[in-house]
Structure 1
Amino acid sequence: MTTHPTSTAGSTAADRPHGRRRVVMWRDYWLAPSETFIRETTTALTRWEPVLVGRRQFDTTLMTADVAPYSDRFAGRLASRLPAGPRARRGWRDAVADPRVGLVHAHFGQDGLSALPWARAAGKPLIVSIYGMDVTSLPWRRGADGRRFRAGLAELFDYASALVPVSQFLADRTVELGADPAKVRLIYPALGLDHRPAPAGDAVGIVFVGRLVEKKGVPDLLAAVARLPEPLRSVPVTVVGYGPLRDELERQAADLDLRVTFAGRRSSAEVAEILREHAVFCGPSQRAANGDAEGLGMVFVEASNAGLPVVTYRHGGVPEVVADGETGLTVPEGDVAALSNALARVLADPEWGRRLGRAGQQRVNHLFDRHRHAAHLEALYDEVAAPLGATR
């Protein structure tokens, strides 16, 4: 396997520079506000012109698709779950078969399955970016759903010219599922990084950002804070995000008598500012009961970019972002006592924490630079693309 380590919301192909070749960027749903990494991949390209294709267009979106036949309103959501009609099928067929299109790039394995029949029908190469649950949990669903998805992945892996996991952890999972190792190309994702200096010495408290679901480990974070000695136990904790565990977490924080603010869902800009107001980021991600794991953890990149030291479990792809003892501290997964001790070390020595944060900022600015990402990705496009004008 080969390792390679700001845009306008609602933009369309007409707003982007025209290149000599075109690549169909396939995402079933364009584009969730959390998927800034797909926006950055799309807008970082310089030699290839992206054409955005999918099933449904979100009302609140980072980018507007060129071809997405279904809206985000009730009727559109319902229609998108039914077999596609002639108009939708014609739109997908024509977008992919366009002689100027050299390949299809699908984001997520399940989206690769949506794009596969159109790439195959047009005789176009297909590459698929792998982000996490597509190889950690979906293949292991119980019953017929899991069997169908595994069978689909086998077909997808066979046809695809390249599979692009965003971490070595996901590369290994992809090969374990039967992918040809020669097709697996690790390219770290592009992120629109803020190059402002790390925060000064007035940042305080612990911050978490993410969905309030089992995989994110927020109960362990609260339990770890409760184990801190005073006065560290009284530091403020901010939990940014939403999800089904919020009520349970609020009860846990109250029972433990912790100073926790549940900030709910926030915009990307608000999250960036909240991060910079805190002294340490703690995200104890862990494997969920359904097998879901942190493929890389974009939020760890964002926290390091904001200049925060990161305290986390050694889990999934997270250690590829957080260098233990250099940019933060990683401890064995599920060890709440060790997590608490790591938090105590960083909180008790703010200057050391700031040094860790500055080192983390330098690390992610190198690994996840959008220009570096685009250079590797466009080189892959050049390698696998169909000849100019090819179609069926």
Structure 2
Amino acid sequence: MTSPLRILQIAHDHPEWTPGGTEIVARDLARALDATDGLSARLLVAATSLQRPDMAPGSLGAIGPDAVLRTGAYDRFQMARLDGLGWIESLGRVLRDTRPDVIHLHGLDRLGIEALPVIRRQAPRAQIVLTLHDYQLICANDGLLLTRPEATRCQGASPDACARCFPERTAAQHALRRATLLATLVHVDRFIAPSRFLRDRFVAWGLAAERIEVVPNAVALPAPVAERCPRARRNRFGFFGQIARHKGVLTLLDAARRLKDADLAVTLHGGLGYADAGFRAEFADRLAAADPVAQHLGGYGRGELPARLAAVDWVVVPSLWWENAPLVIEEARAAGRPVIVTGHGGLAEVVADGETGLHVPAGDAAALAETMRGATDPALWARLAAGRGPADFAAFVDAHRALYAALTRRMAA
């Protein structure tokens, strides 16, 4: 009997703690792979003192069936671990227990760039895959590719441009950061990009295009909540995700304030997470100014999402940064809800203006308000809602399975 292909998925967080797209994709993919004949998959996640204060740095724990590696001090600029060497032995224990043929990392934040040579040394025959869910490797500004302090979208990282954003570090230090990261990434056998847009940003940064495979995101969701009866007007708009400045929520609230003369409702679904006091205060002020049109309904568990999506007509994604491939688009499509998005980056790639959604300029509250005013037309809503459905999650899993099989065949040869 042939042994199953063993896969270890590694993510920098768990969706039970942080329900972000990266965490959800890693957990759902691990579960689906483990349920597939001929495969065995396990998930390892990193945790800080915020998630697991009961664990010592470098130690191992668990959350349900998933393993947890407690991390400590971390240099966000260098993406380097500063918490000693105990984590190396803990990671080695996981590798010895799982004996993976493929180690698939979903980002390197918190885990540290040193994880790659450590994995290569401790599991020399395993194939290493890294999904580039964001721009953390390229951009020291939390991977947002937004300039500081203007918060305009960065057209391309360079040592001089990065030094203008971070003047406390020289251009030479930024160049060294890039060179160090690229040199360490040689340990990766294959990169995955969820969008062509993100792939192109990494090619411009220095990764070879032939090392990156584009696999668009898909999402596994409970069945959508059925609509009981058609509505005469499609005037309920919802935002779903992290309440953060770069997500464009302040633009949405400004648009809502402009729509007080219209019969519209705007609901924001999501938590403020680790937002600083300044943004929290600004968000509260804008929310109050948009009352009664706008309401913040707070965070939600994944099981609540279908019902919350059923309670809106449109999903609005007003992001200011270069979104890659946000899961909220697929979640909206699964619920039969058309989307209004800023027409740039990965959003423009997955949403065709006037065909599968509507585009608006980033940061333009007036344009967003006018688009929302016109979107109440039930005929427009029906046409866009009948557009492209969500990506096939089974095909998403199969694409990863095929990639793993090709890599392991190459290793065997």
Note whether the superposition's TM-score is higher than 0.5.
yes
Which residue is equivalent to 2:128?
Answer: 126
Which residue is equivalent to 1:73?
Answer: none
Deviation at 1:378, TM superposition (A): 1.1
Deviation at 1:247, TM superposition (A): 3.2
Residue of 218, 231, 248 corresponding to 2:282:
248
Q: Which amino acid aligns with 1:375?
A: D
Distance 2:398 2:387 in 1: 24
Is 2:354 the partner of 1:325?
Answer: yes
Q: Which amino acid aligns with 1:285?
A: S
User: Which has the larger helix fraction?
Assistant: 1
Q: Which amino acid aligns with 1:105?
A: H
Change (3 A) 1:373 1:103: same
Structure 1 stretches lacking a partner, 5+ long: 1-17, 71-75, 288-292
Distance 2:42 2:399 in 1: 19
Change (3 A) 1:282 1:156: same
Distance 2:330 2:66 in 1: 30
Is 2:6 the partner of 1:22?
Answer: yes
Which residue is equivalent to 1:13?
Answer: none
Aligned partners of 1:135 and 1:177 also within 8 Å = no
Distance 1:174 1:208 in 2: 29
Distance 1:306 1:50 in 2: 29
SS in 1 for 2:101: strand
Is 2:395 the partner of 1:372?
Answer: yes
Distance 2:300 2:264 in 1: 22
SS in 1 for 2:375: helix
Q: Which amino acid aligns with 1:207?
A: G
Residue of 206, 227, 246 corresponding to 2:258:
227
Is 2:42 the partner of 1:42?
Answer: no
Q: How does 1:376-391 map to 2 (within 5 A)?
A: 376-385=399-408
Aligned partners of 1:128 and 1:160 also within 8 Å = yes
Aligned partners of 1:301 and 1:321 also within 8 Å = no
Distance 1:325 1:219 in 2: 24
Deviation at 1:180, TM superposition (A): 0.9
Which residue is equivalent to 1:83?
Answer: 84
Distance 1:275 1:154 in 2: 41
Deviates further, 182-191 or 31-40 = 31-40
Which residue is equivalent to 2:336?
Answer: 307
Is 2:130 the partner of 1:102?
Answer: no
Which residue is equivalent to 2:156?
Answer: none
- Sequence identity (%): 26
Structure 2 stretches lacking a partner, 5+ long: 54-60, 75-80, 144-161
Distance 2:197 2:92 in 1: 34
Residue of 184, 187, 193 corresponding to 1:159:
187
Deviation at 1:97, TM superposition (A): 5.4
SS in 1 for 2:333: helix
Is 2:237 the partner of 1:237?
Answer: no
Aligned partners of 1:119 and 1:125 also within 8 Å = no
Q: Which amino acid aligns with 1:379?
A: A
Deviations 1:121-159 (A, max 9, x none): 032321100111325633657338855652343024322
Aligned length: 353
Aligned partners of 2:287 and 2:295 also within 8 Å = no
Is 2:180 the partner of 1:173?
Answer: no
Change (3 A) 1:56 1:50: same
Is 2:366 the partner of 1:337?
Answer: yes
Deviation at 1:250, TM superposition (A): 2.6
Aligned partners of 1:198 and 1:358 also within 8 Å = no
Deviates further, 250-259 or 310-319 = 250-259
- TM-score of the pair, normalised by structure 2: 0.75
SS in 1 for 2:354: coil
Aligned partners of 2:253 and 2:287 also within 8 Å = yes
Distance 1:279 1:136 in 2: 36
Structure with the bigger RCO (C-alpha within 8 Å, sep 6+) is 1
Distance 1:97 1:148 in 2: 34
Distance 2:304 2:338 in 1: 19
- TM-score of the pair, normalised by structure 1: 0.78
Deviations 1:359-380 (A, max 9, x none): 24x2x2xx2x221011111111
Residue of 137, 140, 143 corresponding to 2:139:
137
Aligned partners of 2:225 and 2:307 also within 8 Å = no
Aligned partners of 2:102 and 2:127 also within 8 Å = yes
Q: How does 1:140-289 map to 2 (within 5 A)?
A: 142=166, 143=169, 149-196=177-224, 199=227, 200-202=229-231, 204-228=235-259, 230=261, 232=262, 234-243=263-272, 244=275, 245-287=279-321
Change (3 A) 1:355 1:344: same
Distance 2:226 2:113 in 1: 42
Distance 1:377 1:28 in 2: 19
Deviation at 1:185, TM superposition (A): 0.2
Deviation at 1:342, TM superposition (A): 1.6
Change (3 A) 1:27 1:332: same
Deviation at 1:183, TM superposition (A): 0.6
Q: Which amino acid aligns with 1:235?
A: L
SS in 2 for 1:295: coil
SS in 1 for 2:345: coil
Deviates further, 89-98 or 40-49 = 89-98
Which residue is equivalent to 1:8?
Answer: none
Distance 2:289 2:360 in 1: 26
Deviation at 1:33, TM superposition (A): 3.1
Deviation at 1:176, TM superposition (A): 1.3
Deviation at 1:272, TM superposition (A): 2.4
